[in-house]
Amino acid sequence: MEVFVLLSVLLCGQTAASSPISTAQAQGFLERYGYLQKEKETHRTAEVKSAISEFQWLSQLPVTGRLDSATLEKMTSARCGVKDVGTHSSWSQRVNGIFTGHLGRHEQRLRKKRYTQTGEKWHKRQLTYRIMNWPRSLSPSQVHLAVKAAFQLWSNVSGLLFQELQQGPADIRLAFFEGEHNDGTGNAFDGPGQPAGDTVKQLAGRALRWAMQDWQISQDPKGGSLTPHYCQGSFDAITMDENGTVLVFQGHHFWTVSNGSASDPLPLHTRWPELSLAIEAAAFSPLDSKLYFFKGRRMWRYSGSDLDPGFPKMNSKLGLPLHPDCAFFYQPLGHMVLFKGSRYFVLNLESLSIEPYYPRALMDWKGIPQGVNGALTRPDGKLYFFKEQQYWRFDPGKLRITATGQWTERLEWIGCRRTPSLQGNELL
């Protein structure tokens, strides 16, 4: 089996799946997605049959020209929200053109497959892949590195082995493309004409960034020692577990840091199955010895590596904000605190409800900026807040900031293996 993979800078958003549709709704579907002309009030039987056949072919269904149950069910599947434009032959020409290097004049108006193909598998463990072309915004070395990282992740969980080829046939061939989104320049994949709102989601770029970050290792010019990649930028979340081990999260990986020494990057799912691909906030609670994770609209709670029954839960049902900036357990209150923008929320972990009179203004935490990307409490009781390369140490007893600086230089326990600087702004 040979697989063609078309990679774009932006991915289509999906329309939600719904219940089975009627014949009239099916005709509306065919009009909406370009199989029938909307301008016509009625359609000849031959036109409708041809439109159904085109849709069935593109959806990899038996081409019968009839609205059978499989076709009606496929029409309710989640899919890209813009029209399909083109024909059976034009799609074949499009795929062939990309992989032979001979694109036709009308290649930007050709239809793309809208549904995920399932059910096929390889009958061997050693597979080859080849990168057919390069995106304009990235160098070949960056693409090679990211693609190699992606296949390594696949290999880690599947037992498959992947080898890159520079020429000749390969089991998997990858190509980057851009241009119109099949319905004019107003819906182009990238550039000034890109769609607004939820029509497209900038997921591919983020996935590529994560892949690059996960596999890049930098060298400390002072000591020559290798450091985790998060030490060169920022992280998504940080906390400590029940053993006092620091956990640093970036993309779909995490690092453990003990005695200032960081581990290799580890996939999230190896320790916390069923967790989101990436997280936005994390916090350990000594009250119940559980780890809490937050991403988008949901909250996960783990006992060790086991997801607790009934989780994940929707933030809205708990009174929590979407996409929290950070989360941490605050010992003086005995509750969990979440920052979001200019406000903070206090979550009672026993009742899983927001405490009365919250949320409140973030100005209660004097000196802490908006948009922090992580927070944790150290064994001495001091709170540390992080935003990009900066940190703030907060003393709960004094209710004020007592130190600030660059965490890569000052905080040895975060795993960057650097000697603490004496140039920081220490406050008494």
DSSP for 272-314 reads: STT--SS-SEEEEETTTTEEEEEETTEEEEEETTEEPTT-SEE
Predicted pLDDT of residue 202: 39
244 and 212 inside one domain:
no
341 and 262 inside one domain:
yes
Nearest to 254 by CA among 394, 155, 347, 374: 374
202 and 231 inside one domain:
no
51 and 108 inside one domain:
no
Average pLDDT of the residues in 327-334: 94
Residue 4 has pLDDT above 70, yes or no: no
Average pLDDT of the residues in 216-231: 55
212 and 226 inside one domain:
no
Give the pTM.
0.51
Cα gap 376→387, rounded to integer Å: 13
Residue at which a domain ends, from 148, 182, 216: 216
Burial of residue 357 (CB within 10 Å: 0-12, 13-18, 19+) is: exposed
Cα gap 61→75, rounded to integer Å: 11
Dihedral sign computed on CA atoms, order 367, 370, 374, 377: positive
Share of the chain above pLDDT 70, in %: 67
**Token pair of 354, please?**
């927001």
Range with lowest mean pLDDT among 108-112, 153-157, 261-265: 108-112
- State the CATH number of the domain containing residue 162: 3.40.390
Cα gap 362→346, rounded to integer Å: 12
238 and 330 inside one domain:
yes
329 and 200 inside one domain:
no
183 and 313 inside one domain:
no
Confidence of residue 68 (pLDDT cuts 50, 70, 90): confident
Residue at which a domain ends, from 216, 232, 255: 216
- What amino acid is encoded at 356 in this protein? P
Decide which of 229 and 330 is more confident. Answer: 330
DSSP codes, 212-268: HHHH--EE-TTT--EE-GGGGS--SEEEE-TTS-EEEEETTEEEEEETTEE---EEG
Q: Is 82 contained in some domain?
A: no
**Token pair of 249, please?**
């999260």
Residue 34 has pLDDT above 60, yes or no: yes
Structurally, how many domains does the chain consist of? 3
Cα distance between the two ends of the chain:
68
Predicted pLDDT of residue 124: 75
Virtual CA dihedral for 119, 124, 130, 132, nearest 10 degrees? Answer: -30
Cα gap 262→413, rounded to integer Å: 9
φ, ψ (nearest 5 deg) of residue 284: -100, 135
Confidence of residue 207 (pLDDT cuts 50, 70, 90): very low
- Which domain covers residue 401, as residue numbers? 220-426
The contacts of residue 92 (CB under 8 Å, 6+ apart) are none
Range with lowest mean pLDDT among 91-95, 248-252, 377-381: 91-95
66 and 212 inside one domain:
no
Which CB contacts under 8 angstroms, 24+ apart, belong to 88-92? 88/54, 88/57, 88/58, 91/58
210 and 252 inside one domain:
no
